[in-house]
Amino acid sequence: MKNILVTGGAGFIGSNFVRYLLKNYEDIRIVNLDLLTYAGNLDNLSDVSNDSRYSFCRGDIHDRALVEQLFDRYGFDTVVNFAAESHVDRSIANPDIFLTTNVMGTLTLLDVAKRHWKLDPDDKYSREFKEGVKYLQVSTDEVYGALGETGMFTETTPLAPNSPYSASKASADLVVRSYDKTYGMPVNITRCSNNYGPYQFPEKLIPLMINNCLNGKPLPVYGDGMQIRDWLYVEDHCAAIAAVLEKGRLGEVYNIGGNNERANIEIVKLIIHDTGRSEELIEHVRDRPGHDRRYAIDNTKITSELGWSPKYTFQTGMASTVEWYLHHRDWMDKIVSGEYMKYYEKMYANNALS
């Protein structure tokens, strides 16, 4: 049985990942450690919250005593770290929390896992770890910086992050790397392109545009809207992470992407079309400072080594995404009204283990 600590499991990708594991693996135990920041939402997991293989703990990955307590109690053999501050625009306004959570939080998880997994934790020269343990860091293609009109990111592309968000993710990747090189800790790093799908917080491009279309509000396109992202349906990302957990060679980085490069304006127009709105809603606004022009992932390593490939095309993924948001307007309205934040403050006031 796999005994997994998933962090950030109440966020967009983490909640899809928890659901993916419960659906596809019988013999599994998952503890979801999530601080429930503005981006964490237990509604994302309401359909699986009573599953006996799953439990939730509200807390901070940077809280060493709590992480120790969870390791002592559950004896995890696997950590998948999704927990992060994840929005570039917020990182431009307030970088501090990005460094604290994304770098120091990652260090805390790594260090507690090392102490629990090393056969002789007190011998600084020993590189022996328990059989079958693994720490997986969920990272992003943004650590590679921006591309020009041609080329793709491979796993050996030098790190050149441009935003405080991507700088914090790149820093965390380097700390993970150091735990492999220095201590021999079994780790993997995955670097995925932009995700879309159900349960994405409506500050990100696709759910924001869907929500604004549904409410007839202006659609704020940064600059000329010709920035390019390589979009992947979230379930395909989850399957890729599961493949790396099972088969990824220790110490390796795996890029994850679906060969789906689209300009932002193309996506906005598609959403306008799918929701029956008018292009008159488009409003070109001032560009994001330091805005990366283009991302593209070369996924050769993961497809050839691990046999993973995306199941969704952009057409099927977007169709199911728009349909999901159309059928879950309550979910969106609750977030936008801020009602769920008040609810969680009351419910989980004292960081208690569930």
103: left (phi over 0), alpha (psi -120 to 50) or beta: alpha
CA gap 196, 188 in Å, rounded: 23
Task: Rule CB under 6 A: say whether 335 interacts with ligand TYD.
Answer: no
Q: Helical H runs in 148-299?
A: 164-183, 205-214, 234-247, 264-274
| Residue 264 is a binding residue for ligand NAD (CB under 6 A) | no
DSSP character for 175?
H
Per CB under 6 A, does 86 bind ligand NAD?
Answer: yes
Reference 15, options 192, 201, 176; nearest CA is 201
Taking the complex as a whole, how short is the minimal distance between the CB of residue 17 and ligand NAD, in angstroms? 9
Catalytic annotation on 141? yes
Q: Min. distance of Cβ 344 from ligand NAD in angstroms? A: 10
CB-based contact 245:79 (threshold 8 Å)? no
Which residues does 81 contact at the CB level (< 8 Å), separation at least 6?
Answer: 7, 8, 61, 106, 109, 135, 136, 137, 138
- Cβ burial of 235 (10 Å; 0-12, 13-18, 19+) is buried
C-alpha distance from residue 308 to each of 17, 61, 68, 85, 154 (Å): 16, 29, 34, 27, 16
**Which of ligand TYD, ligand NAD, none does 136 bind, CB closer than 5 to 8 A by kind?**
none
Does residue 258 belong to the site contacting ligand NAD (CB under 6 A)?
no
Q: Residue 341: left (phi > 0), alpha (psi -120 to 50), or beta?
A: alpha
Closer residue to ligand TYD, CB minimum distance, 184 or 223: 223
Rounded Cα–Cα distance for residues 57 and 220 (Å)? 36
Q: Residues touching ligand TYD: how many (CB under 6 A)?
A: 12
- Binding at 12: pick from ligand TYD, ligand NAD, none (beta carbon under 5-8 Å per type): ligand NAD
Question: Per-residue x/- mask for ligand TYD, residues 271 to 290, rule CB under 6 A?
Answer: -----------------x--
Among 5, 30, 40, 112, which residue sits at the site for ligand NAD (rule: CB under 6 A)? 40
Residue choice 19, 58, 114, 229 for contact with ligand TYD (CB under 6 A): 229
| 195 forms part of the interface with ligand NAD (CB under 6 A) | yes
The least CB distance from residue 169 to ligand NAD, in Å, is 5
Residue 35 lies near ligand NAD (rule: CB under 6 A): yes
Size of the site for ligand NAD (CB under 6 A): 31
Is 274 an active-site residue?
Answer: no
Q: Is 237 a residue that touches ligand TYD (CB under 6 A)?
A: no
Catalytic residue among 34, 43, 85, 142: 142
The helix, strand and coil proportions of the chain, stated in percent and rounded to the nearest 5, come to 45, 20, 40
- Which residues, 6 or more positions from 280, have their beta carbon under 8 angstroms from its beta carbon? none
d(CA 322, CA 332): 13
Q: Which residue from 79, 88, 109, 281 is in contact with ligand TYD, where contact means CB under 6 A?
A: 88
Tell me how far, at minimum, the Cβ of 259 lies from ligand NAD, in Å.
16
Q: Which of residues 260 and 264 has its CB atom nearest to ligand TYD in the complex?
A: 264
82 binds, among ligand NAD, ligand TYD, none (CB under 5 to 8 A by kind): ligand NAD
* Residues 331, 329: Cα–Cα separation, whole Å: 5
Residues 8-27 that bind ligand NAD (CB under 6 A): 8, 10-14
Task: Tell whether residue 84 is a contact of ligand NAD (CB under 6 A).
Answer: yes
Q: Give the residue, chosen from 33, 45, 107, 205, that forms a contact with ligand TYD under the rule CB under 6 A.
A: 205
Where on the chain is the footprint of ligand NAD (CB under 6 A)? Answer: 7-8, 10-14, 33-37, 39-40, 60-62, 82-86, 101, 105, 138, 140, 169, 192, 194-195, 201
The residues annotated as belonging to the active site are 141-142, 165
